[in-house]
Each structure stands twice: as C-alpha cells, then as structure tokens.
C-alpha cells in the first residue's frame, strides 16, 4: 500500500528511509510539447524585472495546516497533469525572455550532479531557476550552498519525496501521488523549510515530482505561499535527449518559454546541448531570467 507512515514522518523532518518513492525523475516521460495556452492568460501587471534576480517578495505566513485542510476539505479535483488550472507554464510577458529551469530530483537514482551543466551555468553567467528536491539537497549540501550563493541562480522547491501532487492519490508514470491535503502540505512544506533555512527566504515556486498535479493541490500550494510551475518546452526529456535535440528544443523555444531540463544526470547531454544552443539563443536576443526575475509572480 502507500507509504503513509513515511510521509507522516515527514511532518517531523525525518527524511531517513526516503527510498520508498525514489524512482528517479519521472519528469523523463513528459512529452516534448508546448503547454502554451492551457492556462489562463498572465496578467500584464506581472511584467517586471530583468536578468538579475530581484529580492523575493515575502508572502504572508502560510495558514496553519488545520485551516488549510478545512478550507479544501471535500474539494474534488477535475484536472490532472503538468498544466492544470493554477499552474504557470510560461513567463508573464513574452518579450525576449526565456527561463531556464533545471530539476534536481533526488533519491537513489536522482541525486547525482551534472558537473558540466553546473560549470556551464557558472562560466556563462546564466540566470536559471533550480528546482531542488529535499533528497537531492541532502546529498549535495555543499553544492546547494554554493548554488544558493550565486546571485544569478534561484532555488525553488521540487518537493520532499518527489511525488505527483494530488489530493486523491492520482499517479503519474507509475508513481503514486500524495493522497490528501495533509500529504500535499507535507510534500511542499518540509522542503520549503529546508530551502528557507539555506537561502534565508521562503521559496516561491514549486514543481511536483513528475510535474503532475491537480488543481486542488495547486490551490493548496498557493495557500502555502508558493506557486506551481510547469513548463512550456521540455528541454531534455529527463536528460535522455541527445545534444542535438536539446539544442533544437532550446533554439526553437518561443519567447517567454519556461524550459524544463535536469541538473542531476551527468550521463545526459543537457549541458552539451545548452552549450551548443547558446550562440544562436544570444543571436536571437534571448534574455535568460529566473522565474522571480521575470516577475511571473507579483
Ligand atoms: Zn524531478
């Protein structure tokens, strides 16, 4: 059955035995399609900022779990996937901006580091948002501190156990999702607190494991002070794409795209593809921004 005892233990920050849901990043299976147009149009007032991340706006303290659970009790989700109502899948304003996002999924098969990608981001002074899972952080704490100290990089929440975010136990790619509002809160807030302890500010963006969620869970995330972020373009299919396809995905991305790729697959060709795409992207006038720097949330 489900790993309920393990998840309940997360309320107390006990991450030992986290292997129960450690299937690596099942973002791998997400098809390389654009999600453009599947969510509500962004508000034009959200357009602000530039390539350099701005100090995050501090949200109000999240309501206590009992209040949240009561608020969403009985809500029945009708949507499921990487682009449900209440999620962001592209930047608020197209312009020349593009957001590179890289996931560190954690778990026994997902906690490695692509050193070529990290070196590329640092060498080329690229702005990017890094969605880090709690288990990846625990396996790479010194590197996480280094990434947090880079003003061009923004750390975001990729969950505690890398679970699809459901209030009813929906699954994605064979991974059982959270099954209640309480479990959604656990999945978000344990890593929320871990990231805040590292960066000093609460994370603003959440990407579920497998990138799947339902719209009720997305609303819970918003109540917790974060916002679910999907993607416009699948940049590496879980780092399974050859470099040429990564390059093609990047150079053909529409302005305003949020690109999902991975930083935890050293055997993949994500770094090589990004490096190959950079000259064309710069010739196109693309401006790399973090999600916070893009002003996607105001
Ligand atoms: Zn992932």
Distance 162 CA to ligand 1 centre (A): 6
pLDDT tens-digit series, residues 169-196:
999 999 999 999 999 999 999 999 999 9
pTM beyond 0.85, yes or no: no
pLDDT tens-digit series, residues 76-133:
999 999 999 999 999 987 689 999 999 999 999 999 999 999 999 999 999 999 999 9
Residue 11 has pLDDT above 60, yes or no: no
Distance 64 CA to ligand 1 centre (A): 27
In terms of DSSP bridges, do strands 171-172 and 153-157 run parallel, antiparallel, or are they unpaired?
unpaired
**Fold type of domain 75-288:** TIM Barrel (3.20.20)
Question: Domain segments of the chain: what residues?
Answer: 75-288
Arithmetic mean of pLDDT, 199-204? 95
Distance 287 CA to ligand 1 centre (A): 25
Distance 124 CA to ligand 1 centre (A): 24
Distance 61 CA to ligand 1 centre (A): 27
Crossing angle of the two packed helices 270-283 and 243-251, in degrees rounded to 10: 30
Distance 79 CA to ligand 1 centre (A): 20
The contacts of residue 124 (CB under 8 Å, 6+ apart) are 278
In 180-292, which residue ranges form alpha helices assigned H by DSSP? 181-199, 215-223, 243-251, 270-283
Distance 118 CA to ligand 1 centre (A): 17
Q: Which runs of E-coded beta strand occur in 121-257? A: 128-132, 153-157, 171-172, 175-176, 205-206, 227-228, 233-234
pLDDT tens-digit series, residues 251-273:
999 999 999 999 999 999 999 99
């Amino acid at each position: 059955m489900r790993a309920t005892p393990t998840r309940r233990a997360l309320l107390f920050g006990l991450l030992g035995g986290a292997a129960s849901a450690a299937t690596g990043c099942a973002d791998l299976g997400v098809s390389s399609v654009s999600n453009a147009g599947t969510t509500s149009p962004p508000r034009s007032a959200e357009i602000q900022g530039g390539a350099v991340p701005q100090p995050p706006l501090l949200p109000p303290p999240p309501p206590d779990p009992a209040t949240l659970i009561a608020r969403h009790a009985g809500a029945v989700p009708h949507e499921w996937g990487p682009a449900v109502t209440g999620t962001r899948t592209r930047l608020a304003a197209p312009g020349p901006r593009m957001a590179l996002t890289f996931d560190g999924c954690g778990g026994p098969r997902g906690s490695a580091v692509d050193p070529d990608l990290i070196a590329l981001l640092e060498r080329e002074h690229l702005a990017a948002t890094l969605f880090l899972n709690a288990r990846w952080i625990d396996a790479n704490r010194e590197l996480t501190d280094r990434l947090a100290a880079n003003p061009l990089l923004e750390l975001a929440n990729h969950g505690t156990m890398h679970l699809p975010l459901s209030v009813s136990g929906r699954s994605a790619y064979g991974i059982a999702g959270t099954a209640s509002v309480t479990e959604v809160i656990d999945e978000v807030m344990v890593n929320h607190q871990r990231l805040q302890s590292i960066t000093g500010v609460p994370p603003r963006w959440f990407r579920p494991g497998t990138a799947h969620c339902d719209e009720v869970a997305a609303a819970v995330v918003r109540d917790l002070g974060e916002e679910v972020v999907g993607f416009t373009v699948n940049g590496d299919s879980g780092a399974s794409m050859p470099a040429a396809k990564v390059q093609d995905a990047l150079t053909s991305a529409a302005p305003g795209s949020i690109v999902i790729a991975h930083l935890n697959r050293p055997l993949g060709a994500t770094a090589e593809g990004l490096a190959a795409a950079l000259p064309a992207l710069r010739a196109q006038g693309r401006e790399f921004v973090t999600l916070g720097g893009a002003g996607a949330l105001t």
